[in-house]
Chain A
């Protein structure tokens, strides 16, 4: 896929726009600055996790003898991220309502994080479904379950650092 085609792919907008929107909404309770920082915090933690864990998944998938070319694994990954982004956008009205009306502003962040996790759970389901035909159930589980666990630990840690920095010190990273 050429670079122009890749950038025009609507899946990319869903994948990037969903976390950006969902992250920015709870920031409204903290002020303009945190709003601008929280959105990119959600997106950056996702992109960093994908950049580190994505190639690892392809390597694990290939090394253990499962079927699937690089293009297929990449497409499955983008599909999963786009699906997660759609769900993030779907959660946006709920997170906006809750963020605007909860008594304690820290709860607003919790709702956004729950929506973010819900979207990623759905993305993981899509990824599982896309890759599953390339291997037996046991094989797919043996590769994907530890990979998901490692991604959650790494991504969660990154997200916590970004969000904490955005909310407390006003600096990301």
Chain B
């Protein structure tokens, strides 16, 4: 005859809330994003999850930022480690009300806490990807990649992280099919524009080789798209300063 131990819980595997604890939340976000998305959608342990994801977001973006700062070294490591989490948090603060009001306007299920948690989880998953891509930055440092190549590698790394992040958000949005395309399109467009502007606002992260000192932020000038175009040209060897 088989006996069950007294402390056994035969329903534990079916518990909808799933694993609990900070490490378990991170593990789930990393390995089983669909489960994490469902848990956020169901509102399970929303506060604890959101707090954990915010910490992950800050830690991972700070790690990636610090790796970028090593290109110049010194105070820039600290500056870049501080600025990249700020960029992500500013973007989050701007997008959260938009997502909530879009959901309300399109008669989709709207709950501010859940909408914020979904966005934080999506950004945290993207931040995990960024942290995973950090060795790529180290490798680029190691082979002596120039400033403009480093910029392009950073943009590609961030684009990959952004795509993974958006895919997670798409999973959450898809739990209600009504108007998910419209919400996703508007949110994605706004995230790209606001994220690019916030990144541009808090530059520099790598610091140009000819710059004499290190500053926390540059004054307002130019735009992200102009700078990206210049970097592509410069990486090909066409320097605007030399042409003009």
Contact = CB atoms under 8 A, between A and B. Distances in A.
B190 interface: yes
User: Which label, helix, strand, loop or mixed, suits the secondary structure of the A interface?
Assistant: helix
A52 interface: no
A126 B105 contact: yes
A31 B105 CA distance: 32
Given A87-B102, A125-B106, A103 B220 contact: yes
Interface string B85-108: 000001001110111111011100
A97 B179 contact: no
A50 B100 CA distance: 26
B201 A125 contact: no
A103 B221 contact: yes
A103 B225 CA distance: 12
Interface stretch (A70-78, A88-96, A160-168): A88-96
A94 B94 contact: yes
Contacts of A98: 193-194, 197
Interface residues of B, number: 26
Interface in B138-188: 179, 182, 186
A10 to B, nearest CB: 12
A101 B197 CA distance: 8
Contact of A97 (B102, B198, B222): B198
B90 A122 contact: no
Interface of B is mostly: helix
A118 B105 CA distance: 12
A83 interface: yes
Contacts of B238: none
A158 interface: no
A157 B182 CA distance: 26
B233 interface: no
B223 interface: yes
A90 B97 contact: yes
Interface string B185-218: 0100010011001100100000000000000000
Interface string B15-50: 000000000000000000000000000000000000
A103 B224 CA distance: 10
A25 interface: no
Contact of B201 (A82, A86, A101): A101
A113 interface: no
B106 A122 contact: yes
Nearest to A88: B101
A122 B182 contact: yes
A92 B102 CA distance: 13
13 contacts: A86-B101, A86-B104, A87-B98, A87-B102, A90-B100, A91-B190, A93-B97, A93-B98, A94-B193, A97-B94, A102-B223, A111-B193, A125-B106
- A-B CB proximity, top 4 nearest: A90-B101, A83-B105, A90-B98, A86-B105
Interface of A: 82-84, 86-87, 89-94, 97-98, 101-103, 107, 111, 118, 122, 125-126
Given A98-B197, A126-B105, 18 more contacts: A82-B105, A83-B105, A86-B101, A86-B104, A87-B98, A87-B102, A87-B105, A89-B101, A90-B100, A93-B98, A94-B98, A94-B194, A97-B90, A97-B198, A101-B201, A111-B193, A122-B182, A122-B186
